[in-house]
Amino acid sequence: MSKKISLSGIQPSGKPHIGNYFAMMKQLVDQQEEYDVYALIVDYHAMKSVKNPKVMKENIINVVLDYLAIGLDPEKVTFFKQSDVSEHTELCWIFDTITTMPYLMRAHAFKDAQAKNKEIDVGTFNYPVLMAADILLYNPDIIPVGADQKQHVEIARDIAEKFNNNFGQTFKLPEAVIMKDVAVVPGTDGRKMSKSYNNTIPLFSEYEEIKKIVMSIVTDSKEGIPKNVYAIHNLLRPATELLPLYESKAGKYKELKELLIEDLEKFIAPLREKRKEFAKDIPKALAILKTGGKKAKKIASLKMNEVREKIGVNVYE
Ligand code: ADP
């Protein structure tokens, strides 16, 4: 019997952070024995924020190194980038024709941008539809993500259902898998940790960087237990251990932050070292990405043939 499929992706839009790691990257590592894992680099999504080709190239290579460093095994996992499989954008268009504007206007990313009075590009508006194509082309069973992506997986399911109802059973409905304790990892300012908020702890930080970032975590002088420091620390140690420690050191922010620095360094240092090893052979990392792209392309093109057949554009024998 073939394995179930798990698929998830990350934007090459900056350094990955510990929020990405605990919510999504670690899940892929843990699943790689039991599932057929697809680790996607969504470079076309990243175009929303990355407009410099040199930076885009560097970011893509960096994500491959990140995936390798966290322990994803290229023998078991398919690493690939969206732009190597043109079927993603092709299917996105087909989905566009069955998705309404009012429906997409309910998406959080669009509503947030609108609330901030941003000039919204069509790509940002359409982002959940491209994500639906990213997912549905591969018939995955599960999508490990952070809570911020829950709605997007639901949109993918809705689009799949709509297509299936119109054209006959074609797409499997995937389930989002969101780890309860790390659904929303807070950043140094207490908001959701995000590459776009400048509040992250990068996953491969150097010791000095960790020190600087942790010391900058916002604390409120009224709290005995500094909320933001505790929430980040709780990713590394269970509450049963952490709570008595924080209670015994209530109000001693500097000491608590120093403990967090040491725990972060213990967790990050081995990953950082592994990443440096992989970074010595960039051509090898790129070969892995290319091979994964070819494998994904085969699967996606079969699925697209099925889609073209279903919608009636396959007129040749
Ligand atoms: P970012 O928001 O930092 O740009 P991405 O959009 O590349 O991150 O998201 C990659 C994955 O990491 C997604 O599954 C997303 O849900 C998850 N993720 C991002 N930030 C967080 C966070 N602060 N807490 C939990 N999961 C997160």
What is the tens place of the pLDDT at every residue in 79-114? 999 999 999 999 999 999 999 999 999 999 899 888
- Please choose from 11, 18, 24, 200 the residue to mutate so as to test ligand 1's pocket, defined by most ligand atoms within 8 A of CB: 24
Q: What is the pLDDT of residue 221?
A: 65
Instruction: Please indicate, yes or no, whether the overall pTM of this predicted structure exceeds 0.85.
Output: yes
Structure tokens at 194: 């995000």
Residue 149 CA to ligand 1 center (angstroms) comes to: 8
Q: Which pLDDT band, with edges at 50, 70 and 90, does 140 fall under?
A: very high
Q: What is the pLDDT of residue 72?
A: 98
Taking CA atoms only, the protein residue closest to ligand 1 atom 16 is 146
Residue 59 CA to ligand 1 center (angstroms) comes to: 16
Return phi, psi of residue 38, to 5°. -115, 115
Residue 305 CA to ligand 1 center (angstroms) comes to: 32
Domain extents for the chain? 5-183+283-311, 195-276
Q: Which pLDDT band, with edges at 50, 70 and 90, does 248 fall under?
A: very high
Domain spanning 195-276, CATH class: mainly alpha
What gap in Å lies between CA 20 and CA 10, rounded to an integer? 8
Q: Are 125 and 110 in contact (CB under 8 A)?
A: yes
Average pLDDT, the chain: 95
What digits encode the pLDDT tens for the residues 189-198? 989 999 888 8
* Sheet hosting strand 175-177, strand order edge to edge: 77-81, 35-41, 4-10, 142-144, 175-177
Does position 223 have pLDDT exceeding 80, yes or no? no
Of 3.40.50.620, 3.20.20.80, 3.30.360.10, 1.10.3720.10, the CATH number of 5-183+283-311 is: 3.40.50.620
E-strand ranges in the chain read 4-10, 35-41, 77-81, 142-144, 175-177
